[in-house]
Amino acid sequence: MSAPAQFQAILAKLQAEIPAFWLNDRLGQPLPADAPSTDLIADAEARMASCAPLLAELFPELNATGGNIESALMPAHKLKAALSRDGTGDTSAWFIKRDDALPVAGSIKARGGFHEVLAVAEQIALTRGLISPDDDRRRLNTPAVRAVFAQYTVAVGSTGNLGLSIGVMAAALGFDTVVHMSADAKAWKKDRLRKRGVRVVEHVGDYAEAVAGGRAQALALPHSHFVDDERSALLFFGYAASARHLAAQLKDAGRQVDAQHPLFVYLPCGVGGAPGGITYGLKALFGEHVHCVFAEPVASPCMLVQLASHSDSPVSVYDIGLDNKTDADGLAVGEASHLVAPLMASQLSGVFTVSDDALFLNLRVLKSSLGVLVEPSAAAGIGGPQWISDSPEGRAYVRQHALDMNQATHVIWSTGGSLVPPEELQAFHDHADELARRGQTALLTS
Ligand SMILES: *Cc1c(COP(=O)(O)O)cnc(C)c1O
């Protein structure tokens, strides 16, 4: 593989699984000519708004919010105080975006997953003449429509959280629902789905094999829709629809975003759909004033290798000798989304990698400073502000863009955890306590 010098320079670190920060040298270039229209972001927002009453009807836990699927933007100055060096006088503001607590699905996958299932349900109902475009979407939850949905199969391949999101929503609408899961998916996720009447098919092998197996089986069925995490635009725009609400939350918190007030957003990345969609949405609103950085496990930096290689064909973490084995099961993806990677090539500021030990130490500091309990994947972004302020790459980025970091807002996107059973959460924290006892504290190891 011939690759840019920048990739060669970071390759040895990646192969040794040493945490690293790669800056995207193509940031700011034009989007590809075939990039999807940003009008699709507004479409997704409108769809989620028109389906809110339906969601409130389907899920009692959404009554309080009128069916709105959104999460809090939580001030995180205590986390900042716990992680920052004293005496730097840095006046930036830190927040945690609490998608770990998104209702019904308990992870960021609620955004993309619910949007895709609702879009598919609408499409079927419209083509079969069961609803008209302006009808109240609660009509999708009537016996005649549900009887039609029961003839259709909705299928997905997943390491876990996407399966939970798609499975719960599709089953609630009455679809025949199949979730293909990889060997590393957690038992409690499979159990939860089976209890809701979802068929769970287990695949030996990794995430990509579960997706490929699911795709092949779904294509063989007459009335079926396969939610394709490696290339779905409906998932992507479901995530992108989060941007406008975040912008309103920042405004309410008194945070400006413009040339003098940069916004940094740190997003855990698996296949890239969720963080990529959010980046696309935020870039459409804030342009060059938002700086999006992905976080990936040291064993699974699939977006990093795809983008850093500048290759138009797929590059996987296996190609550089990594094993894609991580406790961050939501991020254990070897090859980035074919839809998302080309879009991120000009939008993403960079990617940093995180060791599994650091994920657990992050979990621990999140709990001790803010009382927030998350799953390991969700803790990947926490080192982001430090990479910007304390690493040579981060400082170079700040200089190059002439940013006033004292006016910066840092948003660390937390992506999953509220449905994890208490005994599993306890096991994460026991492990983190053990690491801390052994004297491991550094969040950034270099
Ligand atoms: C899926 C997931 C991500 C990343 O989303 P991708 O679309 O796979 O990049 C991050 N955190 C959690 C908890 C997830 O489940």
Q: Decide: 89 and 262 in contact? Cβ < 8 Å.
A: no
pLDDT for residue 235 is more than 80: yes
Name the amino acid, one letter, at 39: D
Question: Quick one: which atom of ligand 1 is closest to the CA of 235?
Answer: 7
Mean pLDDT for 51-62 is: 96
Looking up tokens 């406790």 gives: 327
Q: Decide: 338 and 36 in contact? Cβ < 8 Å.
A: no
52 to 41, 93, 169, 416: CA distances (angstroms): 17, 32, 13, 22
Question: How many angstroms does the Cα of residue 267 sit away from the middle of ligand 1?
Answer: 9
With 0-12 CB in 10 A as exposed, 13-18 as middle and 19+ as buried, what is 422?
exposed
pLDDT for residue 137 is more than 60: yes
Residue 271 CB less than 6 A away from ligand 1: yes
Tokens found for residue 95: 């927040």
pLDDT for residue 445 is more than 50: no
pLDDT for residue 251 is more than 50: yes
**What's 37's DSSP letter?**
P
Q: What are the φ/ψ torsions at residue 22 (nearest 5 degrees)?
A: -105, 125
Structure confidence at residue 1 (pLDDT): 43
Q: Decide: 271 and 354 in contact? Cβ < 8 Å.
A: no
Q: How confident is the model at residue 2 (pLDDT cuts 50, 70, 90)?
A: low
Q: Decide: 443 and 358 in contact? Cβ < 8 Å.
A: yes
Residue 377 CB less than 6 A away from ligand 1: yes
Question: Quick one: which atom of ligand 1 is closest to the CA of 269?
Answer: 9
* Cα–Cα distance for residue pair 226/176, rounded to 1 Å: 12
| Residues in Cβ contact with 334 at an 8 Å cutoff, skipping those fewer than 6 apart | 206, 207, 208, 300, 302, 316, 317, 318, 324
* Cα–Cα distance for residue pair 56/158, rounded to 1 Å: 26
Question: How many angstroms does the Cα of residue 275 sit away from the middle of ligand 1?
Answer: 8
Question: How many angstroms does the Cα of residue 256 sit away from the middle of ligand 1?
Answer: 28
Instruction: Report which of 378, 255, 387, 254 is spatially closest to residue 370, judged by C-alpha positions.
Output: 378
**What's 261's DSSP letter?**
B
* Cα–Cα distance for residue pair 202/255, rounded to 1 Å: 46
Neighbours of 425 (CB within 10 A): 17
pLDDT for residue 87 is more than 80: no
* Cα–Cα distance for residue pair 412/381, rounded to 1 Å: 6
Residue 268 CB less than 6 A away from ligand 1: yes
Residue 279 CB less than 6 A away from ligand 1: no
Residue 330 CB less than 6 A away from ligand 1: yes
Mean pLDDT for 356-383 is: 96
Instruction: Report which of 65, 101, 62 is spatially closest to residue 371, judged by C-alpha positions.
Output: 101
| Mean pLDDT, the chain, whole residue set | 94
Residue 385 CB less than 6 A away from ligand 1: no
Question: Quick one: which atom of ligand 1 is closest to the CA of 272?
Answer: 9
Instruction: Report which of 142, 101, 107 is spatially closest to residue 125, judged by C-alpha positions.
Output: 142
Mean pLDDT for 222-244 is: 95
Question: How many angstroms does the Cα of residue 260 sit away from the middle of ligand 1?
Answer: 31
* Cα–Cα distance for residue pair 25/207, rounded to 1 Å: 29
pLDDT for residue 443 is more than 70: no
